[in-house]
């Protein structure tokens, strides 16, 4: 989205720059600059959320009456770009960017009063309970059961690939409460306290050595019926609404633009690499224009339909392509495994070194292979890109 800023937007940009310069500490800045995936170091991210919350900027898209910033699409685009330029980490999307909009739209007054303030101030840190061992992109095949007993549901089953379940204290979760003629029927959207007895979290270690993903087991876990979001047996409606925010509720382009500029600055001036970077830049401009249209629709409460799928496909494919170019630019130094140089989104298990250790080569070269490995998952999470292409083919091309 090529922006020609109004005087008011220029003033907002300057305010953002001044705020970032005054409030970004060295440790928070390092966590943003040396990320290896879409997730920042948890402690640094929470510290940064507290600063943003004090300013009233923790939830850019939320309405002001619920503690949000109430920014326009242009203002959110400005902040996203300036944040990455300054080296600030992103906040975890699971709460403010995903569960938050769902609660704002479907929640009861009591649910909004309880959950939204705690989501903003960081007292509640959220994870997403969707995928199961036999139900990933085919989410309607989920089997985790929730049987009603009085004022509670008794939950049994497992969720997998659950990001940050090891540090989360709340989960928004899809469970099967009944069975209907269609698999999408009989699913309920539950808000689950992760400290409830019967919940066990086991780590899934990624190729990069990081512990970000988890499998979560539920053994007779008791969840109040009052924690149902939306209607019982109609959780699919809530999930579809939330997926608009997961797939199309935030922009890929601002961060990719900043990362591209950094790579062009740091990478060696190789003719074959310059041509590839130019091709990438053209594709990124197309994504930027598409995101401007989609985010404008989301901000106005309009159903973006398959546009969110298109945005997810293009955004994650470009993320992966940029990591390939960075790895190529890093050369032989990009082959070394140096997790101590990075600020990963979770602990690196079985690594005896200390974070902030010296890098062989420049830090960007050390991070290149770690980011490459992490972002292979981009075309899988939030519904695989193959599934997204099927959605577009069915809905738009009538195939």
Q: Examine the residue annotation and report whether 246 is marked as an active-site residue of this protein.
A: yes
Q: What is the pLDDT of residue 242?
A: 84
Q: What is the pLDDT of residue 295?
A: 66
Q: What is the pLDDT of residue 244?
A: 67
* Cβ–Cβ < 8 Å for 374, 39: no
Active-site pick, 82, 246, 291, 375: 246
121 Cβ contact list (under 8 Å, min separation 6): 50, 53
Q: What is the pLDDT of residue 109?
A: 97
Q: What is the pLDDT of residue 3?
A: 55
| Alpha carbon separation from 128 to 77, 211, 243, 293, 355 (Å, rounded) | 25, 16, 11, 27, 28
Q: What is the pLDDT of residue 132?
A: 95
Q: What is the pLDDT of residue 309?
A: 80
pLDDT along the chain (399 residues), means of 10: 74 97 94 88 95 97 94 87 91 93 96 98 96 85 96 98 96 95 93 98 85 96 98 94 64 86 86 91 90 68 73 90 94 82 80 60 88 84 78 81
* Cβ–Cβ < 8 Å for 137, 383: yes
* Cβ–Cβ < 8 Å for 87, 110: no
Q: What is the pLDDT of residue 57?
A: 97
Q: What is the dihedral of CA 71, 75, 78, 83, to 10 degrees?
A: -20
- The HSE-up count of residue 192 (CA atoms within 13 Å, CB side) is 33
Domains of the chain, CATH where assigned:
7-101 (1.10.540.10), 126-241 (2.40.110.10), 249-395 (1.20.140.10)
DSSP per-residue string spanning 349-384: TT--S-TTPPPSS-HHHHHHHHHHHHGGGGGTTTS-
């Amino acid at each position: 989205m090529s922006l020609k800023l109004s005087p008011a937007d220029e003033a907002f940009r300057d305010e953002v720059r001044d705020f970032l310069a005054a409030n970004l500490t060295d440790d928070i800045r390092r966590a943003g600059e040396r990320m290896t995936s879409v997730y920042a170091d948890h402690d640094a991210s929470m510290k940064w959320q507290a600063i943003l919350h004090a300013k009233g900027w923790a939830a850019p898209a939320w309405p002001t009456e619920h503690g949000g910033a109430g920014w326009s699409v242009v203002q959110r685009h400005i902040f996203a770009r300036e944040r990455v330029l300054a080296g600030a980490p992103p906040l975890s999307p699971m709460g403010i960017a995903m569960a938050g909009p769902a609660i704002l739209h479907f929640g009861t007054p009591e649910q909004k009063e309880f959950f939204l303030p705690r989501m903003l101030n960081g007292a509640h840190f959220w994870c997403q309970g969707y995928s199961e061992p036999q139900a990933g992109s085919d989410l309607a095949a989920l089997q985790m059961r929730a049987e009603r007993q009085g004022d509670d549901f008794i939950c049994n089953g497992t969720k997998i690939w659950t990001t940050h379940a090891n540090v989360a204290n709340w989960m928004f979760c899809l469970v099967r409460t009944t069975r209907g003629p269609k698999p999408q029927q009989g699913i309920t959207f539950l808000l689950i306290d992760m400290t409830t007895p019967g919940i066990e979290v086991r780590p899934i270690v990624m190729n990069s050595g990081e512990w970000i993903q988890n499998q979560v087991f539920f053994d007779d876990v008791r969840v109040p019926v009052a924690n149902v979001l939306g209607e019982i047996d109609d959780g699919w409606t809530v999930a579809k609404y939330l997926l608009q925010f997961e797939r199309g509720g935030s922009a890929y382009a601002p961060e990719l633009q900043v990362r591209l500029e950094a790579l062009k600055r740091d990478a060696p001036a190789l003719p074959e690499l310059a041509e590839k970077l130019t091709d990438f830049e053209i594709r990124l401009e197309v994504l930027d224009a598409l995101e401007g249209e989609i985010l404008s629709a989301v901000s106005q409460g309009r159903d973006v339909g398959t546009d969110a799928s298109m945005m997810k496909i293009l955004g994650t494919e470009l993320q992966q392509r940029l990591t390939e170019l960075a790895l190529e630019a890093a050369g032989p130094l990009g082959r070394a495994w140096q997790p101590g140089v990075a600020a990963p989104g979770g602990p690196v298990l079985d690594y005896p070194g200390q974070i902030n250790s010296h890098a062989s080569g420049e830090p960007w070269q050390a991070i290149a292979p770690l980011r490459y490995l992490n972002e292979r998952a981009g075309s899988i999470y939030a519904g695989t890109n193959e599934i997204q292409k099927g959605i577009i083919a069915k809905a738009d091309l009538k195939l």
